[in-house]
Structure 1
Amino acid sequence: MNELSTTAPAFVEMAHRIVWATAATVSSTGQPRSRIVHPIWEWDGSELVGWFGTFPGSPKTDDLAHESRLSLTYWSPEHDTCTADCDSRWVESSEGRHAVWDRFLNGPEPVGFDPTLIPGWTDPDAPGFAVLELRPTWLRVFPGTMLLSGTGDVLTWRQSQ
């Protein structure tokens, strides 16, 4: 296993370059579900945290009420992949929702975007805008060159128990 200080920056670089991730959750009946999400990540040198906006009342809301863990995987046509298994929590405070809104609005290209492009997301306090915070417990960064030529480094990190 690699250290978080090695894996997290490589994860953020790849995730932000790819932008869109497949998020997998499990329903209360054990049914797996996946969907595409647009997270943004911050690495401060010691902690990695991610967020994405969503609609309250979506199927993932019920899934995460049952099981708060989810897995996100990014894939590019060059076969670069990175995965984050995460604990999650809803950001309830207006201050927290405003901070995440601003992260997206002022985020670096190509991951930054204007949230008002999403119908119902008129501002950070809009009833149709909810925010999920992500705290990784396991990371993997797998460059496509490993598949194509056997070169590159696969990085993994697991949170200490």
Structure 2
Amino acid sequence: MTNSATRPRVPTFADIRADVDAIVGAINYATMTTVDAKGRPRARVLIPVWETGTEEPTGWLATYRTPVKEAHIAGNPHVTFSYWSPAQNTVAFDTVAAWTEDPDERAHVWELYRHGSPPGAGYNPAGFWRGPDDPQFQVLRLTPWRVQVLRGRDLVNGVPARIWRRPLQGD
């Protein structure tokens, strides 16, 4: 068994981008996990969108600002999004989440959802909200610090997951 210290770290996000986009676009739904003030996890299934065409990915979550979600993120902004398919294709985004009130970002996220980012992901947000200025339309900016991708075909051949990490001070 391979431990995290021996998993291949890729030098750039571009090294895993094609697999991330393909898996996320095919699955669409992710399990979002937060933790409460006592360290207890809470999972829910949602649909984030991702901008992956840059050196470092950025994620967005159009959501309702529920009291539980708001309290968890206020107490610990580290949030994980996990994708899994029956073919054993997986992607995990470890992120730092922050609410945004910026009207330009909210309009941008609205369009990302409408057009799918990556292709295949997203949905028409008009089914839930009146528009990007609807007060119920809330947006979380997701800044990934670690992304792990594993294809089922690699798993069965003993090839470990590939991991990208955002360069952090002190790394």
1:114 and 2:121 correspond: no
CA RMSD, 1 decimal: 1.7
Q: Distance in 2 between matches of 1:143 and 1:107?
A: 22
After superposition, the C-alpha distances for 1:94-117 in whole angstroms (9 at most, x for unaligned) are: 111111001111226521321021
SS at match of 1:11: helix
Task: Please name the residue that 1:124 is paired with.
Answer: 132
Cα distance change of structure 1 residues 12 and 105 upon mapping to structure 2, 3 Å threshold: same
TM-score w.r.t. length of structure 1: 0.89
| CA contact 1:143–1:153 (8 Å) conserved in 2 | no
2:37 equivalent among 28, 33, 47: 28
2:47 equivalent among 7, 14, 38: 38
1:11-90 equivalences in 2 (<5 Å):
11-90=20-99
Q: Distance in 2 between matches of 1:45 and 1:151?
A: 30
Gaps spanning 5+ residues in structure 1: where? none
TM-score w.r.t. length of structure 2: 0.84
Q: Distance in 2 between matches of 1:152 and 1:114?
A: 37
Task: Please name the residue that 2:154 is paired with.
Answer: 146
Offset of residue 137 of structure 1: 0.7
Gaps spanning 5+ residues in structure 2: where? 1-8
State how many pairs are aligned: 158
> What is the one-letter code of the residue matched to 1:157?
W
Cα distance change of structure 1 residues 9 and 91 upon mapping to structure 2, 3 Å threshold: farther
> What is the one-letter code of the residue matched to 1:79?
Q
Work out the percentage of aligned pairs sharing the same amino acid. 29
Give the ranges of 4+ consecutive aligned residues of structure 1 lying more than 6 Å apart after TM superposition.
none
